[in-house]
């Protein structure tokens, strides 16, 4: 395949391209999946406030 010899190296090249394709497919398929939930946002804001309090105390 493409001037390469045996099975090992062509298989490595094919798997490399397939795995890159898998990343592209997964990224496109889930492009808008997993957006920040309200609960996560509240949690984040709570940590920020707590951190500010600690810094003020120090």
Partner 1 sequence: MSIPLLTSVVLVYLSIVAFLTVKAYRGTNSAADYMLAGREIHPFVMAMSYGATFISTSAIIGFGGAAAVFGMSVLWLTFLTIIVGIFIAFVFFGRRTRLMGLNLNAHTFPELLGRRFNSRGIQGMTALLIFAAMPLYASVVLMGGGKFISQIMAIDYDVALFFLTLIVALYVIMGGLKAVMYTDAFQASIMFSGLMILLGFTYYKLGGITTAHQRLTDMQEIAVKIFGAKGHTGWTAFPELGSEYWLIVVTTIILGVGIGVLAQPQLIVRFMTVKSSRELNRAVLIGGIFILVAVGVPFIVGPLSNVFFYYENPATAGKISLLAADKNVAQIIPMYISTSMPQWFTALFMITMLSAAMSTLSSQFHAMGTALGRDIYEKALGRSGNSVLLTRIGILFAIMLSYFLAWGLPHFFEGGTAIIARGTAIFFGICAAAFLPMYFGAIYFRGMTKLSAYAGLVSGTLVSFFWLFFVHLKESKPLQLCNALFGVDSLAMGSKWALVDPLVIALPASILATILFNLWGRRLPEQHVQRCFDKIR
At 25, list the tokens: 């497919």
Give yes or no for residue 3 binding partner 1 (CB under 8 A): yes
CA distances from 10 to 13, 19, 24, 41 (A): 5, 14, 21, 47
Q: Residue 57 CB, nearest distance to partner 1 (Å)?
A: 9
Q: Residue 46 CB, nearest distance to partner 1 (Å)?
A: 9
List, in order, residues 6 or more apart from 11 with CB less than 8 Å away.
Answer: none
Write out the binding residues for partner 1, residues 14-53 only, by CB under 8 A.
Answer: 15-17, 19-20, 22-24, 26-28, 30-37, 39-40, 43-44, 47-48, 50-52
């Amino acid at each position: 395949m493409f001037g390469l010899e045996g099975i090992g190296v062509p298989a490595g090249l094919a798997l490399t391209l397939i795995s890159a394709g898998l990343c592209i497919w997964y990224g496109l398929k889930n492009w808008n999946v997993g957006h920040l939930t309200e609960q996560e946002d509240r949690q984040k804001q709570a940590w920020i406030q707590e951190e500010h309090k600690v810094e003020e105390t120090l």
